[in-house]
Amino acid sequence: MNTRMATKALTVWSLSLGCPKKRVDSERLLGSLGVPVKSVAQMGRARLVFINTCGFIAPAVRESVRAVLDAVNRLARCKNKPLLAVAGCMVGRYGAEELARELPEVDLWLPTGDLADWPALLAHALGLPDPPEKVTGNGGRLLSTGPSYAWLKIGEGCRHKCAFCTIPSIRGGLRSEAAPDLLAEARGLLERGVRELVLVAQDVTAWGGDTGGKKTLPYLLERLMGLDGLAWLRLLYLYPSGVTPELLRFIKEAGAPLLPYLDIPLQHAHPDVLARMGRPFAGDPRRVLERVRDILPEAAVRTTFIVGYPGESEAHFDSLCRFVEESRFRHLGVFAYQAEEGTPAATLPDQVPDEVKERRRATLMEIQAGISESLLEAHVGRRLPVLVDAPHPEWPGLHSGRVWFQAPEVDGMTYVSGPGVTPGALVECDIVENTEYDLTALA
């Protein structure tokens, strides 16, 4: 391999499906290859087409398969065919050998179990020199989120045993990432101008719980908060049992840049359904919410619910609706239950018909739309900082951004215009209008 080829930029077309953790894996991989990497918008201009799949639920698997088949069809028309590599949870769930039999056009399969070795496997397939390291964030990342924010994955796998979830079987048990590595990765992101770091894991409250030491989430947060250039630090995916009084008091006392934003996936409100799910706080999830609002009343709480779980009756669903009406969550996601092969829930009796699941999902989202609109309306006329994400694709001068209680990609957004509004800027703005889920602001 000559030096000229080794240092030439590798052109890449990439797609990451599913959760932000997958996006981090892709960004870390493409920054760990030991050569400059350049993103391209057209597959035919790439030397590498990389698809990071999701295998969490059946619709995600179908989306991943469609993406791979689309790439196969498009690349069949290319004169100089790029290397097609497919990675991620779908590969981990079904196995590279089985998928290779079904899709022989894929050049390289990368299972989640081989995550650390992805750079070496990919470099070998591309004829590149051996990369200097395994997948980490320390070698830099090929950011795909723009200048305003970046995801920081602090752990892999999960220690919980929810009856409906495939994650432990796909990605294994909890493995916390080392604090020095995370701090080095965070510094690198902030030095590149990123203003917000969003911590993600299957359960961020579990960080450090697998090491047997005393370094738990507050230890990591204290060190991240002291980094230069950090405007906002946000936590996503807090398992309810991990939202302890000690953690809440830490968040309250810490203040900026740690945001009082809590994403706590409760999954249901009725104890019967929660017990069948194998979830904590099966007696009454109100205890979690009461604890948050007693210690951290200013917190913006996001949650998710599953409707149509096996055995969920109309009475169970009515109880969930009342809970949502009473609780007035800042943000809410609702998913129709999917029976996933290999999970205990898939074999439970009293499976709910699909049309009932969809009706319940729509009903709950209609309730939440009214709550969200009312909560956002209370901010009209106020002045709030807006973190600017990107220019609007159709309206010159208009940008998308977010106020502190809007997480990227999962919540609503704030449309903003005026002096100083550029991607990555944190601008004081007047909130002038709202819809059900979005705000409009003027700098």
Tokens of 88: 């991620």
Tallying the residues shown for the chain, one arrives at: 443
Q: Give the residue from 141, 135, 52 showing the smallest Cα distance to 92.
A: 52
In sequence order, which ranges of 86-215 are alpha helices (DSSP H)? 89-94, 96-102, 118-126, 167-171, 179-191
Can you tell me whether residue 210 is helix, strand or coil? coil
Taking only Cα atoms into account, the Rg of the chain, rounded to an integer number of angstroms, comes to: 22
Q: Phi and psi at residue 314, in whole multiples of 5°?
A: -65, -35
Can you tell me whether residue 238 is helix, strand or coil? coil
Contact 435, 373 (CB under 8 A): yes
Amino acid in the structure at residue 273? V
Contact 63, 25 (CB under 8 A): no
Annotated binding-site residues for [4Fe-4S] cluster read 19, 54, 89, 158, 162, 165
CA distances from 412 to 163, 219, 368, 430 (A): 30, 31, 13, 17
Tokens of 48: 């590498």
Cα dihedral angle (344, 345, 350, 353), rounded to 10 degrees? -140
What stretch of H or E contains 48? strand 48-53
Q: Phi and psi at residue 179, in whole multiples of 5°?
A: -60, -45
Annotated binding-site residues read 19, 54, 89, 158, 162, 165
What stretch of H or E contains 27? helix 20-30
User: Given phi > 0 = left and psi -120 to 50 = alpha, else beta, which region is 31?
Assistant: alpha
**244 vs 269: CA distance, rounded Å:** 19
Q: Give the residue from 425, 405, 401 showing the smallest Cα distance to 414.
A: 401
**419 vs 430: CA distance, rounded Å:** 12
**228 vs 330: CA distance, rounded Å:** 30
What stretch of H or E contains 333? strand 331-336
Would you call the peptide bond into 218 cis, given omega within 30 degrees of 0 as the criterion?
Answer: no
Q: Give the residue from 150, 154, 127 showing the smallest Cα distance to 47.
A: 127
Contact 165, 339 (CB under 8 A): no
